[in-house]
Amino acid sequence: MANTLTINGEQKSFDAPADMPLLWVLRDILGMTGTKFGCGIAQCGACTVHIDGKPVRSCMLPVGAVRDRAVTTIEGVGATPVGAKVQKAWLDLEVIQCGYCQSGQIMSAAALLATTPNPDDSDIDAAMAGNICRCGTYVRIRAAIKQAASGRQS
Partner 1 sequence: MANGQMRSEVSRRDLLTGGLAGGFLLAFHFPVRAANEPVQPPDDTAGKFAPNAFIRIDRAGATTLVMPQVEMGQGVYTSISMILAEELDADFAKVTLEHAPPSDKLYGNPLFGIQATGNSNSVRAWWKPLRTAGASARAMLVQAAAQQWQVEPASCTTANSEVMHTESGRKLSYGELVDAASAQTPPKDVPLKDPKNFGLIGKPLKRLDTPDKVNGKAVYGIDAMLPDMKFATLKACPVFGGKVAKVDDSAARKVPGVQKVVVLDDLVAVVGDHMWAAKKGLDALVIDWDEGPNARVSSKEIWDDLRAASEKDGAVAKSAGDIAKGLAIGDKLEASYELPFLAHATMEPINATVHVTPDSCEIWTGTQVMTRVQSEAAKAAGLPVEKVIVNNHLLGGGFGRKLEADMVVAAVRVAKQVDGPVKMVWTREEDIQHDVYRPVYRDTIAATLSGGKIVGWKYRVSGSSVMARWFPPGFQKGVDIDGVDSAIDMPYDIPNFHVEFVRAEPPAVPTGFWRGVGPNNNVFAIECFMDELARKAGKDPVEFRRSMLGNQPRFLAALNLAAEKSGWGQPLPARVGRGVCVQPSFGSFIATVVEAEVNEQGEVKLRRVTSAVDTGIAVNPDTITAQLEGGLIFGLTAALYGEITIDKGRVQQSNFNDYRMLRIDQAPKIEVHIIKSGEAPGGIGETGATAGPPALRNAIYAATGVALRRLPIDRSLIAAGRKS
Residue 114 interacts with partner 1 (CB under 8 A): yes or no: no
Is the Cα torsion angle 57, 5, 81, 100 positive or negative in sign?
A: positive
Task: Please identify, using beta-carbon distances, which residue of 28 and 52 lies nearer to partner 1.
Answer: 28
CB of 38 to partner 1, least distance (A): 6
DSSP structural state of residue 38: S
Residue 116 binds to partner 1 (criterion: CB under 8 A): no
Q: Does 46 bind partner 1 (CB under 8 A)?
A: yes
Compute the distance between CA of residue 123 and CA of residue 127 in angstroms, rounded to an integer. 6
Q: Does 123 bind partner 1 (CB under 8 A)?
A: no
Q: Using CB under 8 A, which residues numbered 59 to 78 contact partner 1?
A: 73-75, 78
Amino acid at 93: L
Residue 120 binds partner 1, judged by CB under 8 A: no
Q: Closest by alpha carbon to 103, among 67, 55, 153? A: 55
Closest CA to 153 of 80, 78, 93, 67: 93
First to last CA, the chain: 49
CA–CA separation, 75 vs 13, rounded Å? 18
Q: Could you tell me the smallest distance in angstroms from the CB atom of residue 96 to partner 1? A: 5
For residue 50, state whether it binds partner 1 (rule: CB under 8 A). no
Residues within the interface to partner 1 (CB under 8 A): 16-17, 20-21, 24, 27-29, 31-41, 43-44, 46, 73-75, 78, 87, 90-91, 94, 96-103, 106, 124-126, 128-142
